[in-house]
């Protein structure tokens, strides 16, 4: 099977000034990879006809498929369609069906279409219209045949919601018809609480000898390391055999296979039991609760939290004994345990998670430096504790503390056969 090469061209002034993080570039890269396209270059240019034209001409020399986003709006800044027509050497033509759809969309909103939107119905002559279910701007696909080779330029709107739907529902089926693509298999291993260097060292022997075209990527965002193993079609069997040895060398640090993150897995696993979680958090300031409740369906498994930022709140709202706070300080094992117990009792949970620590930048001492955290998990008749010294700035310490706290809950479920990494 021949390689089908592709480029991604994103258009918009805001992408060059850094005012917008280019999420369309990442989305199109992901989709292209999973389709089996070989992405060789991704770029962003200004909303200028000559710049877009030049980038398209370069792309057409190299790439079979050029995925383009942005610049299809109704304002004078939006010049992508004009630039594509120029690069391809055709004129623009009014597409009556496109115009009818745009007018209908405005009618549906009880409005008359402004004159400026009429521009969006002019497409390069010979282009195939791509319907936009989420907005007014139609996309279009230009197919060029020369010297026995098919090349495609697919233009999509820059609004992420519109782009994503059009890419998946309109562009991908056409690419699969036009090219001999074989979607690339991939495995994702999610690891928490082990340093990237240790993960890499343990995986070395397992991933060392790999078939042609297979690639391993490590993504580290404390306290999590995600290992992505990509293969080409020939490597599928090798890839399918990895789970067992990877699971063996990473042991309990490997909490999941695939896309879902820890809070999502935790909500799903708790939902299969009758257990509910309650949280008391100090240095994480609500982050552990926020991570849980960001998952749809959390209300079935999450009671709530007390964010006990001040010691007075730990005492009065949570019921941590003042003597304990005085004797050991708020960042200590006994206080973490008391927070976990009280959260469980006061909020009516089956499991209570307590998190206390020093996120910084202030508040550290020689004995308890910034990054010191105590985590505790309480259940009827027992309470586990774990201390850690977490690296990084305030945001990193908070994120690590919250996720490592949730990992304690996960590990408890796994130990009792109530959760598994590959579910």
Which parts of 292-331 interact with a copy of itself (CB under 8 A)? 292-294, 296-299, 302-310, 312-313, 316-317
Q: What distances in angstroms separate CA 164 from CA 6, 29, 109, 303, one per listed residue?
A: 18, 12, 22, 35
Q: Does 362 bind a copy of itself (CB under 8 A)?
A: yes
* Interstrand relation of 139-146 and 128-130 (parallel, antiparallel or unpaired): antiparallel
CB of 285 to a copy of itself, least distance (A): 3
SS3 of residue 185 by DSSP: coil
Q: Under rule CB under 8 A, which residues in 128-147 are in contact with a copy of itself?
A: none
Among 1, 3, 23, 233, binds a copy of itself (CB under 8 A): 23
Identify which of residues 89 and 296 has a Cβ nearer to a copy of itself in the complex.
296
Which of the residues 336 through 355 are near a copy of itself (CB under 8 A)? 346-348
Binders of a copy of itself in range 147-206 (CB under 8 A): none
CB 171 within 8 A of CB 130: yes
Q: Is 365 in the site for a copy of itself (CB under 8 A)?
A: no
The strand pairing partners of 146, in sequence order, are 149
Q: Which range touches a copy of itself (CB under 8 A), out of 95-103, 126-134, 213-221, 414-422? A: 213-221
Q: Which stretch binds a copy of itself (CB under 8 A): 236-244, 283-291, 320-328, 379-387?
A: 283-291
Of residues 259-278, those binding a copy of itself (CB under 8 A): none
**1: helix, coil or strand?**
coil
Applying the rule CB under 8 A, the residues between 366 and 395 that interact with a copy of itself are 394-395
Instruction: Report how far residue 126's alpha carbon sits from residue 245's, in angstroms, rounded to the nearest whole number.
Output: 53
Judged by CB under 8 A, which of 3, 30, 144, 365 binds a copy of itself? 30
Question: Would you say 372 and 358 are in contact if contact means Cβ atoms under 8 Å apart?
Answer: yes
Closest distance to a copy of itself from the beta carbon of 310 (Å): 5
Angle at 308 between CA 302 and CA 314, to 5 degrees: 115
Q: Which is nearer to a copy of itself, 20 or 273 (CB)?
A: 20
28/98 Cα distance (integer angstroms) = 24
Q: Report the residue from 15, 102, 225, 229 that binds a copy of itself according to the rule CB under 8 A.
A: 15
Neighbour order of strands in the sheet with 254-257: 215-221, 224-230, 186-192, 254-257
CA distances to 241, 296, 371, 404 from 360, rounded to whole Å, are 44, 31, 7, 18
């Amino acid at each position: 099977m021949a390689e089908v090469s592709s480029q991604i061209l994103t258009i918009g002034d805001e992408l060059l000034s850094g005012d917008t993080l280019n999420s369309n570039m990442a989305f199109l890269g992901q989709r292209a990879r999973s389709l089996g396209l070989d992405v060789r270059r991704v770029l962003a240019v200004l909303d200028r006809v000559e710049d877009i034209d030049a980038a398209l001409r370069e792309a057409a020399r190299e790439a079979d498929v050029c995925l383009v986003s942005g610049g299809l709006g109704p304002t004078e800044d939006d010049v992508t369609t004009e630039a594509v027509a120029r690069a391809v050497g055709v004129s623009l033509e009014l597409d009556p069906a496109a115009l009818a759809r745009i007018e209908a969309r405005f009618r549906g909103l009880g409005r008359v279409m402004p004159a400026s939107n009429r521009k969006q119905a002019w497409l390069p002559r010979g282009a195939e219209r791509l319907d936009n279910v989420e907005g007014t701007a139609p996309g279009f696909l230009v197919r060029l045949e020369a010297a026995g080779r098919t090349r495609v330029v697919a233009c999509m709107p820059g609004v992420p919601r519109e782009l994503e739907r059009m890419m998946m529902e309109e562009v991908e089926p056409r690419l699969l018809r036009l090219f001999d693509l074989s979607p690339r298999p991939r495995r994702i291993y999610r690891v928490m609480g082990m340093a990237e260097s240790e993960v890499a060292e343990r995986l070395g022997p397992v991933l060392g000898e790999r078939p042609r075209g297979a690639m391993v990527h490590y993504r580290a965002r404390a306290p999590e390391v995600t290992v992505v193993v990509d293969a080409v079609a020939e490597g599928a069997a090798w890839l399918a055999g990895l789970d067992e040895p990877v699971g063996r060398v990473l042991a309990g640090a490997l909490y999941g296979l695939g896309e879902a993150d820890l809070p999502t897995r935790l909500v799903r696993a708790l939902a299969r039991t009758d257990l509910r979680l309650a949280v008391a958090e100090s240095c994480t300031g609500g982050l552990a609760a926020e991570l849980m409740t960001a998952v749809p369906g959390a209300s079935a498994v999450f009671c709530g939290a007390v964010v006990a930022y001040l010691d007075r709140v730990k005492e009065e709202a949570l019921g941590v004994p003042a003597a304990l706070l005085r004797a050991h300080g708020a960042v200590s094992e006994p206080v973490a345990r008391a927070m976990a117990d009280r959260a469980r009792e006061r909020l009516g949970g089956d499991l209570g998670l307590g998190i206390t620590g020093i996120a910084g930048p202030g508040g550290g001492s020689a004995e308890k430096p910034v990054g010191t955290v105590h985590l505790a998990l309480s259940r009827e008749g027992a309470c586990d504790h774990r201390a850690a010294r977490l690296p990084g700035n305030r945001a990193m310490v908070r994120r690590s503390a919250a996720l490592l706290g949730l990992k304690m809950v996960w590990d408890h479920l796994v130990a009792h056969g109530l959760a598994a990494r590959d579910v």
